[in-house]
Structure 1
Amino acid sequence: MIKMKEVHKTYGNGVVALSGISVDIQQSEFVYIVGPSGAGKSTFMKMMYREEKPTSGTIEINGVDLKTIKDRQIPQLRRNIGVIFQDFKLLQTLTVYENIAFALEVTEEYPKQIKRKVMDVLDLVRLKHKARFLPHELSGGEQQRVSIARSIVNRPKVVVADEPTGNLDPATSWSIMDVLEEINDRGTTVLMATHNKEIVNTVKKRVIAVENGRIARDELRGVYGYES
C-alpha cells in the first residue's frame, strides 16, 4: 500500500527533516508514527498526501509515485487518502452535514448518493443526530469525529491522522481511538502520528519511531519509547 525508499527532505532554509527513510506499510495495517518534537513526524505525514515533496527518494501509495505525480492529479490522489488534523479544520459556516458533503460535491456525485454516504459515515461516528449542527455547537471530540467522517466519506484506502487526539481530554481520546480502530477493521490502512504514550502502549499496533529524521525503530505491536 505504501512504499518509501531512501526518502530525504531538506527544506529551503537548510533544515534536514528526513534522512534516508525507507519503509513498507501493507494494506489494512494500523501504524503509529512516534518520536520527540522536531523528529520529522509531521514531514513524514505530509509526504503521504503530497503536502510536501521529497528532495530525493521515492514514495508510492497504491502504485502511484508521489514524487512524479502532476499537480492536476493531486485532487484525485487525495480522494484515496483521508486526512485527519489535530485542529479539525472544519468550515465554521457549514453544518456537520455540509462539511462532510462538501468533500463529495467537488467530485460531482449525485445528490442522493451524497446523502446516503454522508449519513452512513455520520452513523459510523455516532453523530447522525447532530447533522444540522454548526461546528461551534459541538464539543472538541464531536468536531474531531466530524473531521474523521469527512476524511472517510470517499472511502479512501489510507487514512493519515496527524495527532488526532492532541487537543482532546483522555476520555474523548479513547472514543476517537474506537472510531479509528473500527475504520481500520473495515480494511482501511491507518497511519497515526501521536505523542500519546498511553494510547500507543494500550492499543498495541505497529510502531515506527522517528528520531532526527531517521527511523530509530520499527516494531510490530511495539511500545512508545519516548516521553511526550
Structure 2
Amino acid sequence: MIEMKKVGKTYPNGVQALKDINIHIDKEEFVYVVGPSGAGKTSIIKLIIREVVPTEGTIHVNGTNLGDLTKKQIPYLRRKIGVVFQDFKLFPKLSVFENIAFALEVTEEPPDRIKPRVMEVLDLVKLKNKTRHKPRELSGGEQQRVAMARAVVNRPAILIADEPTGNLDPETAWSIMGTLEDINHRGTTVVMATHNSHIVNHLKKRVIAIDDGNVLRDEWRGAYSYEA
C-alpha cells in the first residue's frame, strides 16, 4: 500500500528532514505518525502525496513508484489519497454540500452520481442536516467533519490526516477520532500525524515515532512515548 525504502529528504536550504526512512504500511491499517515539531512528520506526508520528491530512496503508493510519475499523472495519484488538514481548508463561499461536491466535479464524476455520493458521506460524518450551511456557520468540529467527508468522497484507498484534532477541544477531538475509525473499518488505510498523546495512548494502534528525521520506533499497539 505505502512503502518507503531508504528514503532521505534534504531541502534546497540544506535542512535534512528525513534520513534512511524504511516504512511499510499495509491495506486497511490505521497508523499514527508521532514526534515533536520539526521531526519530519510533515515531510513524510508531503512525500506520500508527491508534493515533494525524495533526495534518496524510493516510494511506492498503491503499487506505483512515485519517482516514475510525470506532472500530468500526479493528480490521478491524489484521487486515490484523501487528505485532511488541521486548518480544514474549506472554501468559505461554498456550502457544505458544494465543498464536498467540488471534489467529485474536478474528477468529472457524472452529475447524477454526485448528489447521492455527497449525501452518503454526509451521513457518514453525521452532517446531513447541514448541507446548505457555509463553513463560518459551523463549529470547528463540524468543519473538520466536512473536510473528512470531502477527503473520502472519491473513495480513496488511503486517508492522510495531518493533525486533524489539533485545533479542537477534547470532546470534539474524540468525536473526530470515532469518525476516522469508522472510515478505517470501511476499508480505508488511515495514516494520522499527531501530537495528541492522550488519543494515541488510549486508542492503541500502530505507532511510528519520528525524531530528527529518523524512525525511532515502529510498534504495534504502541504508545506516544517511551514513558507512556
Shorter-normalised TM range: over 0.9
Quick check: 1:27 aligned with 2:27? Answer: yes
Partner residue, 2:211: 211
* Corresponding residue for residue 71 of structure 2: 71
Q: Deviations over 1:7-34 (max 9, x none)?
A: 0000000000000000110000000000
Corresponding residue for residue 156 of structure 2: 156
Q: CA–CA distance in 1 between the matches of 2:13 and 2:76? A: 31
The 1-side partners of 2:167 and 2:52 are apart by: 24
CA distance in 2, matches of 1:202, 1:164: 16
Structure 2 unaligned spans of 5+: none
C-alpha contact (below 8 Å) 1:35/1:226 kept by paired residues: no
Shift of 1:68: 2.0
> Which residue is 1:123 aligned to?
123
- 108-117 or 8-17: which moved more? 108-117
Deviation at 1:108, TM superposition (A): 1.2
Match for residue 135 of structure 2?
135
Q: Distance in 2 between matches of 1:210 and 1:69?
A: 27
CA RMSD of aligned residues (A): 0.9
Separation in structure 1 between the aligned mates of residue 54 and residue 68 of structure 2, nearest angstrom: 10
The CA deviation string for residues 81-103 of structure 1, in whole angstroms up to 9 with x for no partner, is 00000000000010000000000
Moved more, 107-116 or 84-93: 107-116
Deviation at 1:226, TM superposition (A): 7.1
Determine helix, strand or coil for the equivalent of 2:58.
Answer: strand
Q: Distance in 1 between matches of 2:7 and 2:23?
A: 9
Task: Within 5 Å, give how 1:8-87 maps onto structure 2.
Answer: 8-87=8-87
1:193 — aligned with what?
193
1:36, 1:226 within 8 Å by CA — same for their partners in 2? Answer: no
Query: What amino acid maps onto 2:80 in structure 1?
Result: N
User: CA 1:226–1:14 in structure 2 vs 1: closer, same or farther (change >3 Å)?
Assistant: farther
Q: Deviations over 1:76-125 (max 9, x none)?
A: 11110000000000000100000000000011111120001100000000
Give the Cα–Cα distance (whole angstroms) in 1 for the partners of residues 128 and 154 of structure 2: 18
Query: Following the alignment from structure 1 to structure 2, what is the Cα–Cα distance between the partners of residues 213 and 107?
Result: 35
CA distance in 2: counterparts of 1:71 and 1:226, whole angstroms: 41
Distance 2:152 2:24 in 1: 22
Greater displacement, 132-141 / 102-111: 102-111
Structure 2 letter corresponding to 1:171: E
Query: Matched residue of 1:190: which SS?
Result: strand
1:56 to partner: Cα distance: 1.3
Point out where structure 1 has 5 or more consecutive residues left out of the alignment. none
**Runs of 4+ in structure 1 over 6 Å off:** none
Q: Which letter does structure 2 place at the counterpart of 1:41?
A: K
Which residue is 2:145 aligned to?
145
- How far residue 58 of structure 1 moved from its aligned partner, in angstroms, is 0.5
Distance in 2, Cα, partners of 1:104 & 1:226: 43
Shift in Å at residue 180 of structure 1?
0.2
Q: Deviations over 1:146-176 (max 9, x none)?
A: 0000000000000000000000000000000
Using the alignment, how far apart are the partners of 2:38 and 2:107 within structure 1? 36
